[in-house]
Structure 1
Amino acid sequence: MSEILSSPLFLLGTVALILLALFFVLLPVVRGGSAATRLARRRRALEELREDLDPSDYRKRLAKLEQEQADSGGSAISSRGLAGLLLVSVPLLTLFLYTQLGRPDGIDPEPGPNGELRQILGELTSRVRNEPEDIDAWNRLGMIWKQLQQYPASEGAFRRVIYIEPENEFARVELAETLLYASNRAQLPPESRELLDSVLADNPDNQKALWLAGLGAFHEGDERRALGLWIRLRDLLPEGNVRQRVTEQIAQVSDAPQPEPVAESAPAPMTNPHAGIPGMSTGGAGMQAASRDEDSAETGGASIQVEVAVDPTLAGRLAGSETVFIFARAVNGPPAPLAVKRLSASDLPASVTLSDSDSMAQGLSLSVFPQVQISARISRTGNAIASSGDLQGQSGPVTVQDTDRITITIDEVVE
């Protein structure tokens, strides 16, 4: 019942439909009650003809009308009783059937990770419609579409970024990975290889490009180049799960016998090669799902406890029903959040824990990035995208491994 009452629009629609049903149900009953009106009209017409009728004929007709009126009296009472019964029973029966057979919890369902992504997707789509040159929004669209395995849409978003800014490093690497996923093969498509080579020519230390290029070289049978790229990547990474994964992969390739080239039609049977790499997951939708449990089991996971409070000077602006987003983003990484919690303004001050379990996209989690920035934003519209009038607070860069607890004070107004 609380779900129904919490949605005024649904409640108004329900009332309108019940009234419409009552109209069609009661119409025949009401029309049936007009018999008394017809008899009264016949009685008046008979009185007007009284002087023209034979007295015995008049008395006979009058007696007949009086008998009909007497008979219709009970019928009118019965019709009114039936109408009253229907007025009460139809709404009550509708409510009972809906609560027993319907889905009241479907009025305001829990969004879940994909629901959150689709909400953000709608907001970003509106944003790029109004600001078609917004590179950050296009990049975020591409990341979300890729997470939802809508690779053509993801490819289109990253190509739009490259059209606006041909040298955009992030979009080139993500497009290379998207094309790999869309191919559903272990080998890098030719365009992916060209994109990665161009990125590494501009920035030899791009970590994701090093990993993907090394993966492509491995599947082409060029272990020497793969090892060179992965060793360079390992030397760039700080101590932690990611570096350990890369080191293990290097050891596996170094100790393995020389493999034969992999057939084009099947993915190579490597042990989760993307696990623990920033923004990575295995190539192909089917392999992504298979590696998810392995990822969570092998990594210890990271977490940060976040204390959130509102500056007293801004607390008076809140009604309590606003939505609060608490999230972490990589300092040097993709724009998509690594972990998200959602509260209500009435819950503040609050203490929440952001962890790998709050990740909205596979491969984008706290444990795979050395530094993050924690933010808390109060949204008046409930949208995940910041808008004018929202209140926010954020930390500076924090090291995930060295930070257990952090305090965020919401003390800014978004312009």
Structure 2
Amino acid sequence: MSDPVFVAVLLAACLAAAAFAVIPLLRQRGGGALIVAIALAIPLATIVLYRLVGTPAAIDPDTGQIGDIRASLVDLSGDALREPDNAEHWARLGLAYKSLEEFDSAEHAFRRALFLEEHNDFLQVELSETLLYASGQPRLPDEARSLLIDAVTTNPANQKGLWLLGIDALGRDDNDSAVVWLEQLLSVLPEQAEVRASVGEYLARARAGRGNPMPDNASADEALLTVNVSLADELAGQVDSMTALYVFIRPAGQPAAPPLAVRRLAPDALPASVAIRASDTMTAGDRLVDGTRVDVTARLSLSGDARPAVGDIQGQTRSVELGPAATTEVTIRERLD
């Protein structure tokens, strides 16, 4: 992104944030209905597969999907500033930030949209998932779970909400709740939907009381990849104690997809050998299994935040196949600007 565009994005984002806080105090709440027909009409397979296998393959992150999303922030922030009582603008802004893994900004945008459109099930589900990712934990935060229950109460056919509730319950060994949510999801799935098989598999595990849904060929403690992380010689001595080391695992070729697994280490551990296990998944619905190809990123965050920022240093290895004997080398040497 060029400097002028970056400055414009930053300015627009700051103005939008100010509008988020100030305008509700200056104006009465608007009434217009949120236009979410397109979002609600997204094919069911896309909604559920989003959590099962990630998002569609992305091209180069600087000029492709991620670059396009970052460039769109100027227009999206401007729209929200010009029409601060339009919930759709805030929803679109939240989705953009969520795609970029800027979860704090996404949360603020979704909360503003929900202030304008209370009990909108689409917004509740998106905010819930944002809170999950921001928490860095494999289970739903309490607020996220409450929002999802409200969402599926409002709209019993909200497939993504039912899926998240079902998988979360299964991961918490709350098999009775998992059965309720997954049975409800199956009841609204089209008979021809390919994802019915996966939902049915998890439902069967819940009924059998098997708890955390691990594939038959991978136990929670089995290392499926060993990542050997090192720091380039020319960067020795440039890492201070406030820096955090993160190792991210994403579906191969999908740089915009949420990470399947994340590990955080102290920088003084370098060089480090990190074992990635099936139990390291961010959410219970994700899968780390033999034969899956993933991209590995090791990043030194100067701020300690998991989100990439200017000045961070990283290294990447692409298309690594998971397996009990799988290993890969990542050298950290690229500084983000």
* TM-score in terms of structure 2 length: 0.46
Q: Which has the higher contact order (CA 8 A, sep 6+)?
A: 2
